Amino acid sequence: MIFRIATAFLLCFNICLYAQNVSRNNEQKEIAELLDNQAVAWNKGDLTGYMEGYWKSDSLLFTSGGNIQRGWNATYEKYKKSYDTKAKMGKLVFSKLEINLLSEKSAWIFGNWELKREQDNPQGVFTLILRKFGDSWKIIHDHTSIKN
């Protein structure tokens, strides 16, 4: 009798662990897809599409080069000013992504970025904090650094 109860418990425990791992993998795939979609939009010259990955809020925080940008609109305007031609945008490539789930609704990512352009290839690292709103993951904080 005790053996049957222990076996049933272990079976239920393993099923729960499997379901949790499947859920975790699905969340990580959704987050990776968000970054893929951003790169595709960027590489088409579609800044609006690129910005779809960000939380459309005045509380969005973007930091880079010692500058702090607050809010989705301000971040979008900064991007439009800095990348006003396809040549300046180049081709965006993300690599070495480390996607870490903190909970069902929050995650952080560390990775590398590179812009492949005719005149140069700026590159660096970034850390993103994401939150899940309903069914969608959004970047709520972006800290991007450029390699010297």
The model carries a pTM of 0.83
pLDDT reported for residue 25:
86
pLDDT at 77 over 50: yes
Q: What is the mean pLDDT of the chain?
A: 90
pLDDT reported for residue 3:
53
Determine what percent of the chain is predicted with pLDDT higher than 70: 84
Domains of the chain, with CATH numbers? 2-146 (3.10.450.50)
pLDDT reported for residue 16:
43
Residue 124: partners with Cβ closer than 8 Å, 6 or more residues away = 112, 113, 144, 145, 146, 147
pLDDT at 125 over 60: yes
Enclosing H/E stretch for 147? none
